[in-house]
Structure 1
Amino acid sequence: MILQKMSSRNVTNNGRSSGKSVCNQKGTTLKETTLNLTKTGEEDEGCCERTLRASYKVALRLARAGRPFMDGPLIKNIMLDVVETMNPTLAPAYSRIPLSGMTIHRRINDIAENLHEQLAAKIENFLAYSIALDESTDINDTAQLAIFLRGVDDDLHVTEELLDMISLKDTVTGADILAAVEMAAEGIGLPWEKLFSVTTDGAPAMCGKAKGLLDYCGKNSTC
């Protein structure tokens, strides 16, 4: 009887101890799994951010060089060829960088919108500004009006930017140029009362006494 009681107690104690050890092992495994999942999620998030930044940097390079959107896939193939030759282990990371033609198009639009917003924020603090206008004809015989902006804020910081490039489809008169300038100014929130000077390229449409831009500006209250 004594032996039976001792054996039954041992079985019970062993069962409890084994149950606790199993639970402890399971708890440790779950914690390790959670930690691994968290690390994996952080790594994936970091990888996605890096690939996104790389995509925007390539798009910016293409825009500055005036290259077509479809050069994106070509650049990606070149990068993969170089990486597979120099360090093949990095090839999967480079292959995830989105550089299709449509992606490059969206990236450049995003960059342009961001630059427009930055310029609009600076314009709000302008004390005064001036504009310079240059009209020329492209290879398609279409008149292109370039509008340059230069302004100064309260801290005397000078900002110089290309405000806009506008195509003049039909005629190129002083009235057409004035309408284009007004459209560009209203689109970014330039206050006319802070306009200090207008510089032109000396073309008749700009400086003509009868129908030139400066003549219209003299008669128009907005200039």
Structure 2
Amino acid sequence: MIRGGLRMILEHQQDMAVVAEAADGLTAIDLARRLRPDVSLVDIRMPGADGLEVTRALAGPGVADPLRVVVVTTFDLDEYVYGAIRGGATGFLLKDAGPALLVEAVRAAHAGDALISPSVTVRLLRSMAVPATPAKGAKPLTDRETDVVRSIARGRTNLEVAAELFISLSTVKSHVSGIQAKLGLRNRVEIAAWAWEHGVVTGPG
């Protein structure tokens, strides 16, 4: 029933098509590896292999050609969100987020951005905060890169970062790429997590 609902929402979009469905995690891994979809939607609790295992298999550290994975679940538990982020997910969405946010999350993942349900973002990332210490082997960020990191950690999109910092969208994208390279991170979700973990951002805003 849930998969049918997700299919209807996505296929209603003119620029989207569902290429496959899977009833269990192992089938999902097999289909995703063979069909190479632009974005994979994965539930947390599935038979065979759970959503975190699927995410690690498709997008995790060490995967040669990772896929973009958005985790969609009813379970608003911090360990699931944290596990999904560490497993390489480019999005984490609660099933009650609504059709519009689902479509936005898919589009964000396809564009290389990331989206996490607003209800869990700041709470989760703030809970991961520790006193600031340099990441091992990381190159220091410039002041402007640090500004971009703070904005990302507070859930801003690239367009919002550009408007907030009075810079162009292409400049934001260039900064994001540079930040990922310096810190050894793969996506915006990991940048946000790193910011909270290392005390770069510590409060709302």
What interval of TM-score do these two structures reach, taking the shorter chain for normalisation?
under 0.3
Q: Which of the pair is proportionally richer in helix?
A: 1
Pick the structure with greater CA Rg.
1
Per the normalisation by structure 1, the TM-score is 0.24
Using CA pairs below 8 Å that are at least 6 residues apart, which structure has the higher relative contact order?
2
Structure whose residues are more often strand by fraction: 1
Q: Normalised by the size of structure 2, how large is the TM-score?
A: 0.26
